[in-house]
Structure 1
Amino acid sequence: MSLTGTPFLYTLVALCLVAVVLPLVLWSRMRGPRLVRAAGRVLMLLFAQTTAVALVFTLVNNANQLYDNWGDLLGTSDHVHEAADLGASGTGGMALEKLPKVRQVFKPGKGPGMREEGGVLVTQLRGRVSGVQAEVNVWLPPQYRDPAYRDHRFPVVEVLPGYPGSSKAWFGTMDAPQQLAPLMRSGQIEPFIIVSPRTTLLPGVDTGCANIPGKVNADSWLSIDVPKMVMDNFRAQAAPDGWAVAGYSAGAHCAAKLAVAHPDRYRAAVSMSGYNDPVAVPNSLAAKTPALRAANNPYLLLKEAGVPPRVALYFSGQPRDGYEAAMAIDRAAKPPTTVDVVFIPRSAGGHTMALWKPQVVPAFRWLTEVMGTRHQVGTGPGTTPPVPSTAGSRPAELASGTASRATAARRP
């Protein structure tokens, strides 16, 4: 029975009802010695508490999509079949352009939000470079199946959850397709392909999206294997100009790190409530040694870069939850790197999905601005619908109510 499935949830609801009825019916009818009666009543109480806790956990898990299956919850899910030393480039010396095309079979996705707005396609990808084998979810924009766009290639946003987190979270709890599809149809937001790969690759630990020989090649999985598969199977634009990466919490850290480390693979990144130092997550593999911490800290990577990367970075955060890390990167950035920082007041909520969900539309508006695809305006095949002008608007404006970086700087 699936951890996130409706049958499991209904079973827990039924068990909770039974746990309430049992004491009402049997409490005074218990027979036998006092010790036996006491033990029976204690068992009924424990049963009631256990089912109640299980139901609350399931509701919270379903709402936030923290654990996708029993393997993730119990720490038995291992998606790494090989973790070779791939070197600084993460390619292991392979000529990526010479690798054979990756042809995948896709099935309709199941779960919350996976069938909305055209539905999500899911495939099991065995990464040739990374040695990772896991699911990748792909959502196609409304225009993708329009005959007028049969020759058009679409920009891509790779979206990452926090830790723990499900690869389905952006389609379920975050409601990205439901929020974005109407705006894509009206031309207000670029029709992006949205790709969400699994990021929980080893049991009980956060990989930090790092390459760690002998352990995991999470960086190469996300920045090489997944993009290649998408470009080989869909009408996706080529990297780096057609690719961006976005995430919240631990996924936000990954998004910033991947874009700064690989400007040849990504043009832009969105980081919601992220951090720079991997040590922010106690069980992060990227925080195990000083060398790994430095190699996976986007602030240090940007500060020490010999040539500033040509990437656009968008950060949103609250005090002591992403904002200070974002400002540090802003101070370290030099052209052609660009940084936009959004200050979110504490009144908007804490480190939860309720804070990040309203930021989906503003973040994709920003991506529409910086991805450089607006020049493809027209009505014929291979073109993008005209996008209404947003002159005078603030790309930092969020549905939850925020202040821009300039406004935040004036705060006492």
Structure 2
Amino acid sequence: MSLTGTPFFLFALLLLIVAFVLPFAVWGRVAGPPAVKGLARLLMLLFAQVTAITVVFLLVNNANNLYDNWGDLLGTGNHIDAARNLGPDGLGGKNLKDQPKVHQQFRPADDPVVGPNVQMTDLKGQISGVNGEVYVWLPPQYNDPAYKDKKFPVVELLPGYPGSSKSWLGSLKVAQQLAPLMQSGAVKPFILVSPRTNVLPNADSGCVNLPGKVNADSWLTVDVRQMIIDNFRAGDKPDAWGLAGYSAGAHCASKLALAHPDRYRAAVAMSGYNDPAIEPDSLAGKDPKLRVETNPIHILKAANDAGKPPRTALYISGAAADGYQAGMGLKQLAKQPTTVNVQMIPASAGGHTVPVWKRQVPEIFRWFGLFLHA
């Protein structure tokens, strides 16, 4: 039974009702020695507590899309086929132009929580050695005959940690919010891509390449990106691609955009951070070398020192001590053509929560419209 499906939630709710009614029905009828009676009553109380905790967990998980399935929750899922050293460019010496096109079979999304018109595929990363599901939503204009020869810009959506590939589409309702705005012309049409980022058991990949462990950077910036280009009318230039993330996904978005200006033009980071060690489960945060090298501050400073500030636009939002200072640190380093727009979110807005990020969706996509075009 699926962890996130309605049937399991209803089953858990039914068990909770039984656990609540059971003591009232049989408490005084338990027979046997005092020790047996005490044990039976203790088990009834434990049963009630476990079922109550389960129902609360399911409510929180379904609202925030933290764990996608049992494998994610229990740390038994395996999404790594290989993790060889791919070098500084994350390509392992390969030229993407020489690689055969990746033709994927897509099917309707298997969970109604993501909303209508969402499709998905299971991708095996030929470069990264990572495999996982990828959700895709096409804008209203995509199938309009007037746009049949037009390519579209793309935004990759990255959740926090733990986080499901369904989170932006399910919890933040990004497609449902944007569809009428795109239809009316208030927001430019974008292809939305939501790939799996939870690829390691009980660890945050930090969206980095770590030989022998994971190539999460190449999964997102090479395999997923190229698959979308090969299967849809998506732009293939950096100006057509952006990243958006919240929390740990915000760290990834700003890091990947700054590290790969040859692949991305813009990124949005909501309630993020620069130092990966802020996330205790981060692989990058636990590795002294990676902790420095994958910090967006270091990436931007190194590019500036080399005389090559990246042509990257960043939109960073957050409250005090929850992303704002991280954004200001990058803004102070930014040199043309790098631009950093920092927005302060008041503490009264709701904190480090899905409703805060959900409310920002229309604004951040209007901002993307200033920079992304196919």
TM-score, reference length from structure 2? 0.98
Counterpart in 1 of 2:118? 120
Counterpart in 1 of 2:2? 2
- Aligned residue type for 1:339: V
Aligned counterparts, 1:303-318, within 5 A: 303-305=301-303, 306=306, 307-318=308-319
Aligned counterparts, 1:221-370, within 5 A: 221-305=219-303, 306=306, 307-370=308-371
By percentage of residues, which structure has more helix? 2
Task: Tell me the alpha carbon deviations over residues 78-132 of structure 1, each in whole angstroms, 9 at most, x when there is no partner.
Answer: 201000100111111101111000000001002243232xx21110111111001
CA-based RMSD of the aligned residues comes to: 0.9
Aligned counterparts, 1:56-75, within 5 A: 56-75=56-75
Counterpart in 1 of 2:85? 85
Counterpart in 1 of 2:52? 52
Counterpart in 2 of 1:208? 206
For the pair 1:110 / 2:92, whether they are aligned, the reply is no
Structure 2 residue matching 1:269: 3-state secondary structure:
strand
Structure 2 residue matching 1:124: 3-state secondary structure:
strand
Q: Quick one: distance in 2 between partners of 1:372 and 1:178?
A: 22
Q: Quick one: distance in 1 between partners of 2:254 and 2:114?
A: 26
Is contact 2:239–2:371 with CA below 8 Å preserved after alignment? no
Counterpart in 2 of 1:404? none
TM-superposed CA distance for 1:355, in Å, is 1.1
- Aligned residue type for 2:48: A
- Aligned residue type for 1:328: G
TM-superposed CA distance for 1:290, in Å, is 2.0
Q: Quick one: distance in 2 between partners of 1:144 and 1:108?
A: 17
Q: Quick one: distance in 2 between partners of 1:356 and 1:283?
A: 22
Is contact 2:153–2:373 with CA below 8 Å preserved after alignment? no
Counterpart in 2 of 1:402? none
Q: Quick one: distance in 1 between partners of 2:226 and 2:13?
A: 44
Aligned counterparts, 1:113-192, within 5 A: 113-116=113-116, 119-192=117-190
Counterpart in 2 of 1:29? 29
Q: Quick one: distance in 1 between partners of 2:87 and 2:219?
A: 14
CA 1:201 to 1:232, structure 2 compared with 1: closer, same or farther past 3 Å?
Answer: same
Counterpart in 1 of 2:193? 195
Is contact 1:112–1:171 with CA below 8 Å preserved after alignment? no
Structure 1 residue matching 2:316: 3-state secondary structure:
strand
CA 1:324 to 1:240, structure 2 compared with 1: closer, same or farther past 3 Å?
Answer: same
Is contact 1:112–1:173 with CA below 8 Å preserved after alignment? no
TM-superposed CA distance for 1:231, in Å, is 0.4
Structure 1 residue matching 2:169: 3-state secondary structure:
coil
Which segments of structure 1 move beyond 6 Å, counting only runs of 4 or more? none
Is contact 1:252–1:272 with CA below 8 Å preserved after alignment? yes
TM-superposed CA distance for 1:199, in Å, is 0.3
Q: Quick one: distance in 2 between partners of 1:286 and 1:77?
A: 21
Task: Tell me the alpha carbon deviations over residues 140-170 of structure 1, each in whole angstroms, 9 at most, x when there is no partner.
Answer: 0011111111111000000000000000011
TM-score, reference length from structure 1? 0.89
Give the % identical residues. Answer: 60
Task: Tell me the alpha carbon deviations over residues 236-260 of structure 1, each in whole angstroms, 9 at most, x when there is no partner.
Answer: 0113010000000000000000000
- Aligned residue type for 2:372: M
Counterpart in 2 of 1:387? none
TM-superposed CA distance for 1:77, in Å, is 1.1
Q: Quick one: distance in 1 between partners of 2:89 and 2:293?
A: 12
Structure 1 residue matching 2:343: 3-state secondary structure:
strand
Q: Quick one: distance in 2 between partners of 1:136 and 1:102?
A: 14
Structure 2 residue matching 1:309: 3-state secondary structure:
coil
Is contact 2:268–2:314 with CA below 8 Å preserved after alignment? yes
Is contact 1:207–1:284 with CA below 8 Å preserved after alignment? yes
TM-superposed CA distance for 1:372, in Å, is 4.7
Task: Tell me the alpha carbon deviations over residues 361-393 of structure 1, each in whole angstroms, 9 at most, x when there is no partner.
Answer: 1100100122256xxxxxxxxxxxxxxxxxxxx
CA 1:112 to 1:326, structure 2 compared with 1: closer, same or farther past 3 Å?
Answer: farther
Q: Quick one: distance in 2 between partners of 1:356 and 1:38?
A: 49
TM-superposed CA distance for 1:172, in Å, is 0.5
Is contact 2:277–2:291 with CA below 8 Å preserved after alignment? yes
Q: Quick one: distance in 1 between partners of 2:175 and 2:86?
A: 35
Is contact 1:136–1:198 with CA below 8 Å preserved after alignment? yes
Structure 2 residue matching 1:28: 3-state secondary structure:
helix
Q: Quick one: distance in 2 between partners of 1:115 and 1:338?
A: 34
Q: Quick one: distance in 1 between partners of 2:148 and 2:315?
A: 31
- Aligned residue type for 1:71: G
